[in-house]
Amino acid sequence: MLPAEEQPLPAAVSPTTKSPGYITELEPEMEPEENDGDDEKSEG
């Protein structure tokens, strides 16, 4: 087990989650691939 000083930052504190265009694995519904598929089905 690593000391508190060597432990990685939690996802909530990590600057990566604040980066624009970053997609979290907890929200796969926001992926453009799935949105495009839904749009095509709605039009048909």
Q: What's the helix, strand, coil split of the chain in %, to 5?
A: 45, 0, 55
For residue 37, the model assigns a pLDDT of 56
- Does the structure show a pLDDT above 60 at 6? yes
- Does the structure show a pLDDT above 60 at 17? no
For residue 26, the model assigns a pLDDT of 61
Q: What does the mean pLDDT of the chain come to?
A: 58
- Does the structure show a pLDDT above 60 at 44? no
Report pLDDT digits (tens) over 22-40. 655 565 555 555 555 555 5
